[in-house]
Amino acid sequence: MLTRPADLQDLDVIEALRTGWALEPVAVEYSAVGFGSHHWRVVDDAGRRWFVSVDDLEARRRSADDSPDDAYERLRAALLTSSAVHDGGAAFVVAPVKTIDGDVVRRIRGQYAAALYPFVDGHIHDFGDTFPEAERDQVLRLIGALHASPAVLWGTAHVEDFALPQRHEIAHALDELSAPWETGPYGQRARSWFAVRANRIEHMLSEHDLLAEQARQRPDRMVLTHGEPHPGNLIETTNGWLLVDWDTALVAPPERDLWHLRGSDTSTFDAYTSVVDHDVLPAMLDLYRLAWELDDIASLAARFHRAHDDTADARHEWADMQHRSL
Protein backbone atom coordinates (compact mmCIF):
# COMPACT_ATOMS: atom_id res chain seq x y z
CA MET A 1 0.00 0.00 0.00
CA LEU A 2 1.15 3.55 -0.73
CA THR A 3 -0.38 5.01 2.44
CA ARG A 4 0.68 3.61 5.79
CA PRO A 5 -2.06 2.95 8.36
CA ALA A 6 -2.46 5.90 10.72
CA ASP A 7 -3.03 3.67 13.74
CA LEU A 8 -0.02 1.38 13.24
CA GLN A 9 3.33 2.77 14.26
CA ASP A 10 6.87 1.53 13.71
CA LEU A 11 7.02 0.73 17.42
CA ASP A 12 4.10 -1.68 17.00
CA VAL A 13 6.02 -3.53 14.29
CA ILE A 14 9.20 -3.52 16.38
CA GLU A 15 7.36 -4.99 19.36
CA ALA A 16 5.85 -7.73 17.19
CA LEU A 17 9.31 -8.63 15.85
CA ARG A 18 10.78 -8.76 19.35
CA THR A 19 8.05 -10.86 20.93
CA GLY A 20 7.19 -13.00 17.89
CA TRP A 21 10.60 -13.70 16.37
CA ALA A 22 13.09 -12.62 19.08
CA LEU A 23 14.47 -10.19 16.50
CA GLU A 24 16.01 -6.88 17.59
CA PRO A 25 15.53 -4.22 14.90
CA VAL A 26 17.95 -1.30 14.60
CA ALA A 27 16.39 0.22 11.48
CA VAL A 28 12.72 0.10 10.46
CA GLU A 29 11.32 1.85 7.39
CA TYR A 30 7.84 1.78 5.88
CA SER A 31 8.00 0.63 2.24
CA ALA A 32 5.25 2.02 -0.01
CA VAL A 33 5.08 -0.91 -2.42
CA GLY A 34 2.35 -3.21 -3.66
CA PHE A 35 -1.34 -3.27 -2.82
CA GLY A 36 -3.34 -5.22 -0.29
CA SER A 37 -0.69 -5.39 2.43
CA HIS A 38 1.52 -2.90 4.23
CA HIS A 39 5.28 -3.46 4.21
CA TRP A 40 8.32 -2.54 6.25
CA ARG A 41 12.02 -3.03 5.58
CA VAL A 42 14.01 -3.96 8.65
CA VAL A 43 17.66 -4.34 9.61
CA ASP A 44 18.42 -6.21 12.83
CA ASP A 45 21.29 -5.85 15.29
CA ALA A 46 23.30 -8.48 13.39
CA GLY A 47 23.05 -6.51 10.15
CA ARG A 48 20.59 -8.92 8.53
CA ARG A 49 17.88 -7.48 6.29
CA TRP A 50 14.23 -8.50 6.57
CA PHE A 51 10.90 -7.73 4.93
CA VAL A 52 7.75 -7.47 7.05
CA SER A 53 4.25 -7.79 5.58
CA VAL A 54 1.32 -6.53 7.68
CA ASP A 55 -2.29 -7.17 6.71
CA ASP A 56 -5.29 -5.16 7.86
CA LEU A 57 -7.69 -7.95 8.81
CA GLU A 58 -10.69 -5.63 8.68
CA ALA A 59 -9.91 -4.85 5.04
CA ARG A 60 -9.56 -8.58 4.31
CA ARG A 61 -13.14 -9.40 5.26
CA ARG A 62 -14.85 -11.14 2.33
CA SER A 63 -18.45 -10.27 3.17
CA ALA A 64 -20.59 -8.39 5.66
CA ASP A 65 -20.81 -11.55 7.79
CA ASP A 66 -17.08 -12.22 7.70
CA SER A 67 -14.92 -11.24 10.68
CA PRO A 68 -11.28 -10.21 11.23
CA ASP A 69 -10.80 -13.57 12.95
CA ASP A 70 -12.00 -15.33 9.78
CA ALA A 71 -9.59 -13.24 7.70
CA TYR A 72 -6.75 -14.09 10.08
CA GLU A 73 -7.47 -17.80 9.85
CA ARG A 74 -7.44 -17.68 6.02
CA LEU A 75 -4.17 -15.74 5.98
CA ARG A 76 -2.53 -18.12 8.44
CA ALA A 77 -3.73 -21.19 6.49
CA ALA A 78 -2.29 -19.83 3.23
CA LEU A 79 1.08 -18.95 4.76
CA LEU A 80 1.36 -22.29 6.55
CA THR A 81 0.77 -23.96 3.19
CA SER A 82 3.53 -21.93 1.53
CA SER A 83 5.86 -22.93 4.35
CA ALA A 84 5.00 -26.62 3.89
CA VAL A 85 5.59 -26.47 0.12
CA HIS A 86 8.93 -24.69 0.64
CA ASP A 87 10.01 -27.24 3.24
CA GLY A 88 8.94 -29.97 0.81
CA GLY A 89 11.63 -28.87 -1.63
CA ALA A 90 10.13 -25.98 -3.64
CA ALA A 91 13.05 -23.54 -3.55
CA PHE A 92 11.10 -20.96 -5.57
CA VAL A 93 8.72 -20.33 -2.64
CA VAL A 94 9.62 -17.33 -0.49
CA ALA A 95 8.03 -18.63 2.69
CA PRO A 96 7.53 -16.74 5.96
CA VAL A 97 10.02 -17.16 8.78
CA LYS A 98 8.63 -19.20 11.67
CA THR A 99 7.96 -17.39 14.96
CA ILE A 100 9.61 -18.58 18.16
CA ASP A 101 6.52 -20.73 18.85
CA GLY A 102 6.49 -22.24 15.35
CA ASP A 103 3.76 -20.12 13.78
CA VAL A 104 4.00 -18.07 10.56
CA VAL A 105 2.05 -14.93 11.48
CA ARG A 106 1.58 -12.79 14.57
CA ARG A 107 -1.43 -10.68 15.52
CA ILE A 108 -0.92 -7.00 16.30
CA ARG A 109 -3.64 -5.40 18.43
CA GLY A 110 -6.32 -7.61 16.97
CA GLN A 111 -6.80 -5.77 13.68
CA TYR A 112 -3.44 -6.49 12.07
CA ALA A 113 -1.35 -9.59 11.34
CA ALA A 114 2.40 -9.54 10.62
CA ALA A 115 4.57 -12.03 8.75
CA LEU A 116 8.37 -11.91 8.50
CA TYR A 117 10.44 -12.77 5.41
CA PRO A 118 14.13 -12.77 4.56
CA PHE A 119 14.99 -9.85 2.31
CA VAL A 120 15.47 -11.06 -1.28
CA ASP A 121 18.02 -9.45 -3.59
CA GLY A 122 17.02 -9.58 -7.23
CA HIS A 123 15.27 -7.87 -10.10
CA ILE A 124 11.79 -6.79 -9.05
CA HIS A 125 9.11 -6.60 -11.74
CA ASP A 126 6.02 -4.43 -11.92
CA PHE A 127 2.46 -5.72 -12.06
CA GLY A 128 1.94 -4.60 -15.65
CA ASP A 129 5.22 -5.95 -17.03
CA THR A 130 5.23 -8.56 -19.78
CA PHE A 131 7.88 -11.24 -19.98
CA PRO A 132 9.85 -12.20 -23.08
CA GLU A 133 8.98 -15.65 -24.40
CA ALA A 134 11.87 -17.50 -22.76
CA GLU A 135 11.29 -15.94 -19.35
CA ARG A 136 7.55 -16.56 -19.56
CA ASP A 137 8.19 -20.23 -20.24
CA GLN A 138 10.48 -20.42 -17.21
CA VAL A 139 7.73 -19.01 -15.03
CA LEU A 140 5.16 -21.37 -16.54
CA ARG A 141 7.37 -24.32 -15.66
CA LEU A 142 7.64 -22.94 -12.12
CA ILE A 143 3.84 -22.78 -11.90
CA GLY A 144 3.68 -26.31 -13.24
CA ALA A 145 5.99 -27.47 -10.44
CA LEU A 146 3.71 -25.80 -7.89
CA HIS A 147 0.61 -27.43 -9.36
CA ALA A 148 2.36 -30.79 -9.23
CA SER A 149 2.85 -30.45 -5.45
CA PRO A 150 1.60 -33.60 -3.71
CA ALA A 151 -1.63 -33.25 -1.77
CA VAL A 152 0.16 -34.15 1.45
CA LEU A 153 1.74 -30.68 1.35
CA TRP A 154 -1.57 -28.85 0.89
CA GLY A 155 -2.31 -29.38 4.58
CA THR A 156 -3.99 -26.23 5.80
CA ALA A 157 -4.85 -24.77 2.39
CA HIS A 158 -8.45 -23.71 1.91
CA VAL A 159 -10.41 -24.90 -1.12
CA GLU A 160 -11.77 -22.45 -3.68
CA ASP A 161 -15.45 -21.71 -3.07
CA PHE A 162 -15.79 -19.51 -6.20
CA ALA A 163 -17.43 -16.73 -4.19
CA LEU A 164 -16.52 -13.16 -5.06
CA PRO A 165 -14.99 -11.36 -2.06
CA GLN A 166 -16.86 -8.16 -1.18
CA ARG A 167 -19.54 -8.84 -3.76
CA HIS A 168 -21.92 -7.07 -1.40
CA GLU A 169 -19.94 -3.85 -2.00
CA ILE A 170 -20.80 -3.98 -5.71
CA ALA A 171 -24.46 -4.68 -4.99
CA HIS A 172 -24.62 -1.86 -2.46
CA ALA A 173 -23.02 0.60 -4.87
CA LEU A 174 -25.31 -0.32 -7.77
CA ASP A 175 -28.38 -0.08 -5.53
CA GLU A 176 -27.54 3.51 -4.59
CA LEU A 177 -26.72 5.08 -7.92
CA SER A 178 -29.76 7.36 -7.73
CA ALA A 179 -28.51 9.06 -4.56
CA PRO A 180 -25.46 11.32 -4.19
CA TRP A 181 -22.25 9.71 -2.96
CA GLU A 182 -21.14 12.42 -0.57
CA THR A 183 -18.42 10.16 0.78
CA GLY A 184 -15.27 12.10 -0.06
CA PRO A 185 -13.40 13.85 -2.88
CA TYR A 186 -14.00 11.04 -5.39
CA GLY A 187 -17.51 9.99 -4.34
CA GLN A 188 -19.61 11.72 -6.98
CA ARG A 189 -17.18 10.98 -9.79
CA ALA A 190 -17.13 7.31 -8.76
CA ARG A 191 -20.93 7.21 -8.71
CA SER A 192 -20.97 8.48 -12.31
CA TRP A 193 -18.37 5.86 -13.28
CA PHE A 194 -20.49 3.05 -11.85
CA ALA A 195 -23.70 4.44 -13.36
CA VAL A 196 -22.28 4.38 -16.90
CA ARG A 197 -21.07 0.79 -16.43
CA ALA A 198 -23.87 -0.67 -14.31
CA ASN A 199 -25.32 -2.91 -17.04
CA ARG A 200 -21.90 -4.21 -18.03
CA ILE A 201 -21.03 -5.00 -14.39
CA GLU A 202 -24.31 -6.88 -13.93
CA HIS A 203 -23.54 -8.90 -17.07
CA MET A 204 -20.05 -9.69 -15.77
CA LEU A 205 -21.51 -10.96 -12.49
CA SER A 206 -23.92 -13.25 -14.33
CA GLU A 207 -21.19 -14.56 -16.61
CA HIS A 208 -18.95 -15.23 -13.63
CA ASP A 209 -21.68 -17.19 -11.86
CA LEU A 210 -22.27 -19.42 -14.89
CA LEU A 211 -18.57 -20.19 -15.28
CA ALA A 212 -18.17 -20.77 -11.52
CA GLU A 213 -20.92 -23.38 -11.65
CA GLN A 214 -19.04 -25.17 -14.43
CA ALA A 215 -15.90 -25.15 -12.31
CA ARG A 216 -17.73 -26.66 -9.33
CA GLN A 217 -18.58 -29.68 -11.46
CA ARG A 218 -14.87 -30.55 -11.85
CA PRO A 219 -13.34 -31.00 -8.38
CA ASP A 220 -10.93 -33.49 -9.95
CA ARG A 221 -9.07 -30.61 -11.60
CA MET A 222 -8.10 -28.92 -8.33
CA VAL A 223 -4.41 -28.22 -7.63
CA LEU A 224 -2.50 -26.05 -5.19
CA THR A 225 -2.42 -22.51 -6.61
CA HIS A 226 -0.65 -19.32 -5.64
CA GLY A 227 -3.46 -17.05 -6.81
CA GLU A 228 -1.50 -14.03 -8.04
CA PRO A 229 1.66 -15.14 -9.91
CA HIS A 230 1.80 -11.94 -11.96
CA PRO A 231 5.14 -10.19 -12.68
CA GLY A 232 4.80 -8.03 -9.55
CA ASN A 233 5.06 -11.15 -7.37
CA LEU A 234 8.03 -12.65 -9.19
CA ILE A 235 11.65 -11.83 -8.37
CA GLU A 236 14.45 -12.72 -10.79
CA THR A 237 17.59 -13.75 -8.87
CA THR A 238 20.95 -15.25 -9.75
CA ASN A 239 19.56 -18.59 -8.54
CA GLY A 240 16.38 -18.42 -10.61
CA TRP A 241 12.85 -17.11 -10.20
CA LEU A 242 11.25 -16.70 -6.80
CA LEU A 243 7.53 -16.32 -6.10
CA VAL A 244 6.44 -14.07 -3.21
CA ASP A 245 3.16 -13.06 -1.54
CA TRP A 246 1.55 -16.42 -0.76
CA ASP A 247 -1.36 -14.98 1.22
CA THR A 248 -3.78 -15.98 -1.57
CA ALA A 249 -2.78 -19.66 -1.80
CA LEU A 250 -5.78 -21.96 -2.41
CA VAL A 251 -6.62 -25.38 -3.78
CA ALA A 252 -8.33 -24.40 -7.02
CA PRO A 253 -8.45 -25.02 -10.79
CA PRO A 254 -5.02 -24.45 -12.40
CA GLU A 255 -6.33 -21.54 -14.48
CA ARG A 256 -6.48 -19.47 -11.28
CA ASP A 257 -2.73 -19.01 -11.80
CA LEU A 258 -2.36 -19.52 -15.52
CA TRP A 259 -4.54 -16.65 -16.73
CA HIS A 260 -1.99 -14.18 -15.33
CA LEU A 261 0.67 -15.44 -17.72
CA ARG A 262 -0.83 -16.37 -21.05
CA GLY A 263 -4.29 -15.01 -21.68
CA SER A 264 -6.78 -17.29 -23.41
CA ASP A 265 -4.56 -18.85 -26.11
CA THR A 266 -4.17 -22.40 -24.78
CA SER A 267 -1.77 -23.32 -27.60
CA THR A 268 0.94 -21.34 -25.79
CA PHE A 269 0.93 -23.41 -22.59
CA ASP A 270 3.43 -26.02 -23.80
CA ALA A 271 5.99 -25.06 -21.15
CA TYR A 272 3.38 -25.65 -18.45
CA THR A 273 1.99 -28.93 -19.79
CA SER A 274 5.53 -30.28 -20.16
CA VAL A 275 5.71 -30.25 -16.35
CA VAL A 276 2.21 -31.26 -15.30
CA ASP A 277 -0.51 -33.28 -17.00
CA HIS A 278 -3.40 -30.82 -16.90
CA ASP A 279 -5.57 -29.61 -19.73
CA VAL A 280 -5.98 -25.84 -19.83
CA LEU A 281 -9.60 -24.79 -20.32
CA PRO A 282 -10.32 -21.43 -21.99
CA ALA A 283 -13.61 -21.06 -20.06
CA MET A 284 -11.74 -21.32 -16.76
CA LEU A 285 -9.22 -18.70 -17.91
CA ASP A 286 -12.23 -16.47 -18.56
CA LEU A 287 -13.62 -17.26 -15.11
CA TYR A 288 -10.53 -16.06 -13.31
CA ARG A 289 -10.03 -13.06 -15.55
CA LEU A 290 -13.58 -12.02 -14.66
CA ALA A 291 -13.07 -12.78 -10.97
CA TRP A 292 -9.98 -10.54 -10.90
CA GLU A 293 -11.80 -7.69 -12.63
CA LEU A 294 -14.83 -7.98 -10.36
CA ASP A 295 -12.64 -8.13 -7.27
CA ASP A 296 -11.05 -4.85 -8.34
CA ILE A 297 -14.48 -3.33 -8.97
CA ALA A 298 -15.59 -4.42 -5.49
CA SER A 299 -12.52 -2.77 -3.99
CA LEU A 300 -13.28 0.45 -5.86
CA ALA A 301 -16.86 0.38 -4.60
CA ALA A 302 -15.67 -0.26 -1.06
CA ARG A 303 -13.27 2.67 -1.19
CA PHE A 304 -15.32 5.35 -2.94
CA HIS A 305 -18.84 4.46 -1.81
CA ARG A 306 -17.60 4.79 1.76
CA ALA A 307 -16.00 7.73 3.56
CA HIS A 308 -12.54 8.35 2.11
CA ASP A 309 -9.78 10.96 1.97
CA ASP A 310 -7.52 12.16 -0.84
CA THR A 311 -4.66 9.75 -0.10
CA ALA A 312 -2.00 8.35 -2.43
CA ASP A 313 -3.91 5.06 -2.56
CA ALA A 314 -7.18 6.81 -3.42
CA ARG A 315 -5.50 8.81 -6.19
CA HIS A 316 -3.93 5.64 -7.59
CA GLU A 317 -7.24 3.76 -7.59
CA TRP A 318 -9.09 6.69 -9.15
CA ALA A 319 -6.49 6.91 -11.93
CA ASP A 320 -6.82 3.15 -12.42
CA MET A 321 -10.59 3.50 -12.81
CA GLN A 322 -10.12 5.92 -15.69
CA HIS A 323 -8.13 3.38 -17.71
CA ARG A 324 -10.51 0.43 -17.35
CA SER A 325 -12.05 -0.59 -20.65
CA LEU A 326 -15.29 -2.16 -19.39
Closest residue by Cα to residue 40 from 55, 24, 29, 49: 29
Please state, in angstroms and rounded to a whole number, the distance separating the CA atoms of residues 54 and 9. Answer: 12
User: What's the number of domains the chain is made of?
Assistant: 2
Same domain? 175 vs 268 = yes
Same domain? 77 vs 163 = no
Same domain? 112 vs 215 = no
Q: Which of 70, 103, 119 is the last residue of a domain?
A: 119
Report helix, strand or coil for 230.
coil
Same domain? 180 vs 313 = yes
Same domain? 314 vs 269 = yes
Assess contact for 41 and 29: CB atoms under 8 A. Answer: yes
Same domain? 162 vs 91 = no
What is the helix (H) or strand (E) element at residue 100, kind and residue range?
Answer: none
Q: Which of 119, 153, 178 is the last residue of a domain?
A: 119
Please state, in angstroms and rounded to a whole number, the distance separating the CA atoms of residues 19 and 182. Answer: 43
Same domain? 140 vs 285 = yes
Using the CB atoms, write b or e for 190-223: b if 16+ within 10 Å: bbebbeebeeebeebbeebeebbeebeeeeeebb
pLDDT, one tens digit per residue, over 222-280 is: 999 999 999 889 999 988 999 999 999 999 999 999 998 864 455 578 889 888 988 89
pLDDT, one tens digit per residue, over 211-234 is: 999 999 999 999 999 999 998 899
Report helix, strand or coil for 112.
strand
Same domain? 164 vs 304 = yes
Q: Which of 89, 119, 149 is the last residue of a domain?
A: 119
User: What is the structure's pLDDT at 61?
Assistant: 86
pTM: 0.91
Same domain? 150 vs 273 = yes
Which residue positions in the chain have pLDDT lower than 70? Answer: 1-2, 34-35, 262-267
Please give the residue range of the domain that contains residue 290. Answer: 125-326
Same domain? 312 vs 256 = yes
Same domain? 82 vs 169 = no
CATH assignment at residue 79: 3.30.200.20
CATH assignment at residue 224: 1.10.510.10
Same domain? 185 vs 212 = yes
